Amino acid sequence: MSERGKRTNLVHGGTKRSQWNEVSEAIFLTQGFVYDNAEAAEARFLNTGPDEYIYARYGNPTVAMFEERMALLEGAEDGFACASGMAAVNGALTSMLKAGDHVVSAKALFGSCLYILEDVLGRFGVDVTFVDGANLDEWRAAMRPDTKAVFFESMSNPTLEVIDIAGVAAIAHEVGALVVVDNVFSTPVYSKAIEQGADVVVYSTTKHVDGQGRCLGGIILGTKDHIRGVVEPYMKHTGGSLSPFNAWVMLKGLETVALRVRAQTEGAVAIAKACEGHPKLERFIYPGLKSHPQYDLAMRQLGAGGTMLSLVLKGGKEAAFRFLNALEIAIISNNLGDAKSIVTHPATTTHQRLSDETRADLGISDGLVRFSVGIEDPADLVADVLQALDAV
């Protein structure tokens, strides 16, 4: 049969049925597996017998179904599921780096990613150079013969700057560095990161993949050789594996992720059309608007503007807080990619710990509100945003 489409794979891909032929994927909520005899146990640990399970930190049937379905969605050969997005980011980097290596990273990073790049890696003797991710000249200038990896979020949080995966990959591959992309804001639904040159793609599946605010999870995707040869040995011995229960929730999330992400995008486009140029706004940021400085790149890289918006209100923190408090549908929280619309004030929450200078450098002003668009009726979301802007 010819290659199946994403939506078909999201419903059927990776399914392995037990002897009962259940319709819904089974949760194998077990940490261990029984061996028929002592010889079988020995063979499994020696890896000479059939490829079966040993211990849930190493692998589990429900987790394996999730890994296979995610790999099909991303177009990757393989994946290793992790306990959270941060377990995935940490595992993707520390599994392949050693003291003396050099890494080049974009400087606009999720706070915990910044902690790993800025603090953890340095303590183990890895040298990290930070660059403006949107500036290919800075990437080029930062590369060294000992550069082993480059790291960036393909769409930055919360300023929604799109980083050119193909452009950075061409530069990194010249010195043989692996391209590690945190692709959360781009979503696995729109991602074509591997064909654009990414070697390792990381997701927090807490976001769009669960998409219903229930579980933490993450995944590292790449070639079979890299995932099974480099990532798995590190992950299975250091404890960041995904729980089978969370894998099952994520499998159910995958069945609907493409429908949800497209509905979210529809809402984002509707809000963007209604808000662009609004007199209460200093700036409205959405990569799916022609006015976004990287609109062409967003269309080439993703084919859509995605599910996230940022509104910069005139009047700083006070105006931003009035706007947040006046919203009646969108809730104030800090997750994203959820079925529910969620608003965040990064300067006082997710990015509070950054210095004033760093926030200014990253464009995170006191008036900026991040809006993760949910699957509610677009007309209701537009009405909610407009009435909240009126209240400012």
Ligand X SMILES: *Cc1c(COP(=O)(O)O)cnc(C)c1O
Query: Where does this chain bind ligand X (CB under 6 A)?
Result: 84-86, 89, 110, 112-113, 153, 157, 182, 184, 204, 206-207, 216, 218
Among residues 151 and 284, whose Cβ is nearest to ligand X? 151
Q: How far is the CB of 266 from ligand X (least distance, A)?
A: 22
Among residues 13 and 217, whose Cβ is nearest to ligand X? 217
Contact 215, 287 (CB under 8 A): no
Among residues 205 and 319, whose Cβ is nearest to ligand X? 205
Whole-angstrom distance, CA of residue 153 vs CA of residue 170:
17
Which residues are paired to 220 by β-bridges?
80, 202
Among residues 101 and 153, whose Cβ is nearest to ligand X? 153
> Hey, is 334 helix, strand or coil?
coil
Q: How far is the CB of 322 from ligand X (least distance, A)?
A: 26
Q: Which residues contact 263 (CB under 8 A, 6 or more apart)?
A: 375
**Backbone phi, psi, residue 157, to 5°:** -110, 125
Q: Which residue is nearest to ligand X (CB)?
A: 85
Helix or strand (DSSP H, E) at 60: none
Q: How many CA atoms lie within 13 A of 158 on its CB side?
A: 29
User: Could you tell me which of 81, 86, 53, 14 has the C-alpha nearest to residue 247?
Assistant: 81
Q: How far is the CB of 140 from ligand X (least distance, A)?
A: 24
Whole-angstrom distance, CA of residue 226 vs CA of residue 199:
9
Whole-angstrom distance, CA of residue 248 vs CA of residue 113:
26
Among residues 69 and 207, whose Cβ is nearest to ligand X? 207
Q: How far is the CB of 83 from ligand X (least distance, A)?
A: 8
Among residues 218 and 378, whose Cβ is nearest to ligand X? 218
Q: How far is the CB of 186 from ligand X (least distance, A)?
A: 10
Which residues are paired to 136 by β-bridges?
none
Q: How far is the CB of 52 from ligand X (least distance, A)?
A: 29
Among residues 248 and 392, whose Cβ is nearest to ligand X? 248
> Hey, is 179 helix, strand or coil?
strand
Q: How far is the CB of 23 from ligand X (least distance, A)?
A: 29
Query: Cis link prior to 346 (omega < 30° from 0)?
Result: no
